[in-house]
Structure formats: C-alpha cells, structure tokens
Amino acid sequence: MKKNLLNFTLYLLLPFLTLSCSNNMNPTASKPQNGQQVIETMYSYWENKWYPNFAFDQRAIFYTDDQVSKEEVWQEIYSYPSNLHIRFDGFETGNGIIYHQDTLYTFKEGKQVNKQYSIHPLVLLSFDVYFFSPATTISKAQELNFDLSKLTETKWQGRDTYVIGTTDPNDNTSNQFWVDKENLWVVRVITNNKGVARDVEMKNYKQVEGSWVATEILFKNNGKLFLREEYFNISFPEKVDPSWFDPAQFATANWK
C-alpha cells in the first residue's frame, strides 16, 4: 500500500487555495477571450494579496469501490515559489515527498527513492499563478498540455465559471482547469495521463485567519472517487525554513 501511495503523489499535492477576505469585488470589467487572458486576470487581481506560506494537516481518506479503504493523517507545508513538503502519516514514518522548483523527490523510510522533473498543475494553478509573471505561468501551463486557446463558460457548484482547455464543459477527459469567474481561483483541474483522467475538485471554502481556504478536496480517476482530503490545523507562517524543502535534509525536517 505504501508503494501505491507514493506513486499517487504526483497528482495529490497541494490542491489547497488561500486568499485575502478583503478582495470580494468584481475582478474584471472585460471578458477574457482565451486562457492566457484568464491567467493574466488572475495574476493582476491577486498580485501582492496571496499568502506565500501555508501549513496544514489533512485527513487522507482513500476509497476502493466507493467504500473507505484506508485513512491517514498527513502534514504539509507550502512556500512560494514551487516548494511543497508532505509527510505521510507523521514525521516518524520517514515517508513523504518534497516538491522543489519543478522537481519531485520521493522518500521512503527516510531515504530518497525517486527524483523526477515535474511541473505540478495544482501547485501552479492554485498558488504559483499569483506570484509568477503571467508569461511564466502561461509557458508552464502550455508545457502541461493545457490548450489555452480554448475557453468556454459554465456553471460549477452553482457559480459562473471559466473553463480553460476545452470548448465543451461536458468534456471530462481533456486537460483543463476551471476558474471561479468572480473570485478568480481554481475550482477544478482535469489532467489526462495515459488515458486516466484525474479530476480534482476544490470544495467547502472556509475563512481562516482572514483568508479563504478550500478545506475539502476530491480526487477522481475516470470519474471514480479514490481520495478525499480534509484540511485542519491551518496556518499561514510569516517565515519558513528553506531547509524544509532541501531533499538532503528530509530526514530531519520538522515544522511542527
């Protein structure tokens, strides 16, 4: 089971969203014509307003055939730019990942077992998008095979939403991301990897320390739920230790 868990990490990192509660006005007066313009609008609206550091615990609830098969508690911390550290089921297990500057490092029992180049779509679209220049985000999104020339609109959970990457909101297989039209945060990301469509839904936003956080995340493979994440012990550290994201110091890193 641990091996399978580690293999899932590329798709399970950091689907959280945070934003300042003082920015609830209509974000744009003009209608974007493509995905590039949506990204530019997201950046300009939230520039200098997004929290650069975010820490939390999560309940990771796994499903098999619509039944809960396993539950764990993970510890996570993010810091801009593109830094994420996750510990699976406690620091003492030595199992987890470090995502640092588009490289994913995987650890088992305190030892590094894998390293691979990876632009993570959830990290990019739910956090880094508000810090990178739009040109950088656009380039990375294109590398992830999001077709930014395709844009449509639909309703999602009762709210007006941009859909970038397809012109058909009923298309559940193309690489695409969905952005709340008013608040300009990502509410859904679909990526297709070798015929497996991974669908991530961000739900249950709550206000924490003056910020809004999506506290429940659903992960589906080809429409079938396999993981639900529930976030708690949420905080926004003013400072982080760079060593927490240094693969050479994984074994000793601890932000608790």
Beta bridge partners of 152: 163
pLDDT computed for residue 30 by the predictor: 80
Burial degree of 241 (CB within 10 A; 0-12, 13-18, 19+): middle
How many C-beta atoms lie closer than 10 Å to residue 201's C-beta?
Answer: 20
The pair of three-digit structure tokens given for residue 64, joined into one six-digit string: 């098999």
- What one-character-per-residue DSSP string does 182-214 give? TT--EEEEEEEETTEEEEEEEEEEEEETTEEEE
Beta strand residue intervals within the chain, DSSP E = 18-20, 53-64, 67-79, 83-87, 96-100, 103-108, 111-117, 151-156, 159-164, 176-180, 186-193, 196-208, 211-221, 224-235
Per-residue pLDDT of the chain (256 residues; tens, 9 = 90+): 555 555 555 445 444 434 433 344 444 458 899 999 999 999 999 999 888 999 999 999 999 999 999 999 999 999 999 999 999 999 999 999 999 999 999 999 999 999 999 999 999 999 999 999 999 999 999 999 999 999 999 999 999 999 999 999 999 999 999 999 999 999 999 999 989 999 999 998 888 998 878 899 999 999 999 999 999 999 999 999 999 999 999 999 999 9
Q: How far apart are the first and last CA of the chain?
A: 26
pLDDT computed for residue 204 by the predictor: 87
Which CATH code fits 2-252? 2.50.20.10
pLDDT computed for residue 232 by the predictor: 96
The pair of three-digit structure tokens given for residue 208, joined into one six-digit string: 């924490």
